[in-house]
């Protein structure tokens, strides 16, 4: 037996606001492997998330295969668009959704973790953060502001998290993120500069693997997940069409499940993946390997062949 055992490890999953996406599945898989799991949630979604937890709306989703239910060790507010509190515009800082949260920036998250758990509290950091305010716009129509926001929140935030959290991670720790194949191939409809953001994320993963590996003994990887119809992904507008297309044309002609990504994240965080860093790992039912769309009628074969 070769188990994934994360007992005694503490993980932070940044970007969990409900039970419908990859972030929650990753947190669940890490908990199933024995890790203590903290999450960081975007402030405008925080109260809704906490209310759902308190009212038991997420109990079924939090139930593990053995019948037990995992809990989040801590839930922190995090707006990864901001590195420090003094960089937050006054209108954001004073708005109803932010005013009573304290320091919700990336540096504030570091301070809270150290205060709650000591000087080196983390073994695992997972970056499940992305936002493209103009994602429905073709690249030719994206504004400078929209483009930079997409890259800043979806890619630079990984660098900022590692700058802050790297020094408080234990040697041998794992840092991972989520990317998408629009980084390397054209996906019409996936706009707003998000393809550029994902390309930057993958490039940074390689460089950060070298730098963080030498500086702190950390591994840095990214998972290129297939399309999944989470609540957040619905902002793209064509997500169900993307899911259906990939399910038809992948090497394994079936729909990707969130836990497929969750279990891969747990593996990458474990000692079993100690030799893997600087890697983009595809979890997309083999769709990335295909060079031609599958149209059974045009090939003269039965649909189920």
Concerning whether 180 is annotated as a catalytic residue, the answer is yes
Query: Averaged over 43-69, what is the pLDDT?
Result: 96
Domain count for the chain: 1
125, pLDDT greater than 80: yes
Whether the predicted model's global pTM rises above the 0.85 cut: yes
**3-state SS, one letter per residue, for 34-97:** CCEEEEEECHHHHHHHHHHHHCCCCCCCCECCCCCECCCCEEEECCCCCCCHHHCCHHHHCCCC
148-200 pLDDT, tens digit per residue, is 999 999 999 999 999 999 999 999 999 999 999 999 999 998 999 999 999 99
**Res. 282 pLDDT band, cuts 50 70 90:** very high
Q: Please indicate, yes or no, if residue 128 is contained in any of the structural domains.
A: yes
Please tell me the distance from the alpha carbon of residue 31 to that of residue 220, in angstroms, as a whole number. Answer: 20
- Domain range enclosing 208: 10-299
Q: Please indicate, yes or no, if residue 185 is contained in any of the structural domains.
A: yes
Distance set, CA 71 to CA 27, 38, 66, 141 (Å): 10, 9, 15, 43
- The region that residue 166 occupies, defined by phi over 0 for left and psi between -120 and 50 for alpha, beta otherwise, is alpha
Distance set, CA 211 to CA 151, 163, 206, 216, 279 (Å): 21, 11, 9, 8, 14
Angle between helix 258-269 and helix 22-32 axes, rounded to 10 deg: 50
**Selected catalytic residue, list 98, 156, 190, 228:** 190
Residue with tokens 């940074």: 204
Q: Please indicate, yes or no, if residue 2 is contained in any of the structural domains.
A: no
Contacts of 178 (CB under 8 A, 6+ apart): 22, 127, 128, 130, 222, 223, 225, 261
Phi, psi of 58 (to 5 degrees): -105, 5
Q: Please indicate, yes or no, if residue 14 is contained in any of the structural domains.
A: yes
Please tell me the distance from the alpha carbon of residue 303 to that of residue 305, in angstroms, as a whole number. Answer: 6
Q: Please indicate, yes or no, if residue 225 is contained in any of the structural domains.
A: yes
232, pLDDT greater than 80: no
Q: Please indicate, yes or no, if residue 3 is contained in any of the structural domains.
A: no
CATH code of the domain containing 148: 3.40.50.720
Q: Please indicate, yes or no, if residue 176 is contained in any of the structural domains.
A: yes
**Selected catalytic residue, list 82, 180, 263, 287:** 180
Concerning whether 190 is annotated as a catalytic residue, the answer is yes
Q: Please indicate, yes or no, if residue 5 is contained in any of the structural domains.
A: no
């Amino acid at each position: 037996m070769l188990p994934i055992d994360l007992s005694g490890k503490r993980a932070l999953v940044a970007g969990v606001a409900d039970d419908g996406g990859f972030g929650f599945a990753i947190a669940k898989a890490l908990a199933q492997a024995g890790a203590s799991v903290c999450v960081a949630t975007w402030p405008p979604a925080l109260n809704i998330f906490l209310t759902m937890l308190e009212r038991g709306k997420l109990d079924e989703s939090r139930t593990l295969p053995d019948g037990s239910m995992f809990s989040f060790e801590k839930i922190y507010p995090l707006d990864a668009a901001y590195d420090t509190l003094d960089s937050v515009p006054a209108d954001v800082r004073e708005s109803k959704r932010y005013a009573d949260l304290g320091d919700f920036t990336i540096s504030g998250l570091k301070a809270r973790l150290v205060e709650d758990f000591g000087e080196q509290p983390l073994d695992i950091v997972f970056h499940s953060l992305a936002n493209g305010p103009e994602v429905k716009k073709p690249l030719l129509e994206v504004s400078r502001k929209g483009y930079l926001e997409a890259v800043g929140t979806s890619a630079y935030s990984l660098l900022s998290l590692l700058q802050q959290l790297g020094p408080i991670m234990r040697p041998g720790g794992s840092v991972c993120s989520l990317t998408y194949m629009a980084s390397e191939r054209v996906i019409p409809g996936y706009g707003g500069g998000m393809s550029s953001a994902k390309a930057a994320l993958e490039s940074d993963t390689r460089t950060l693997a070298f730098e963080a590996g030498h500086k702190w003994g950390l591994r840095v990887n990214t998972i290129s997940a297939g399309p999944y119809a989470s609540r957040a992904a619905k902002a793209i507008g064509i997500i169900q069409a993307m899911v259906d297309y990939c399910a038809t044309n992948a090497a394994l002609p079936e729909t990707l499940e969130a836990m497929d990504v969750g279990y891969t994240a747990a593996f990458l965080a474990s000692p079993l993946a100690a030799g893997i860093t600087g890697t983009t790992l595809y979890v997309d039912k083999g769709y990335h390997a295909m060079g031609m769309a599958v149209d059974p009628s045009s090939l003269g074969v039965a649909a189920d062949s």
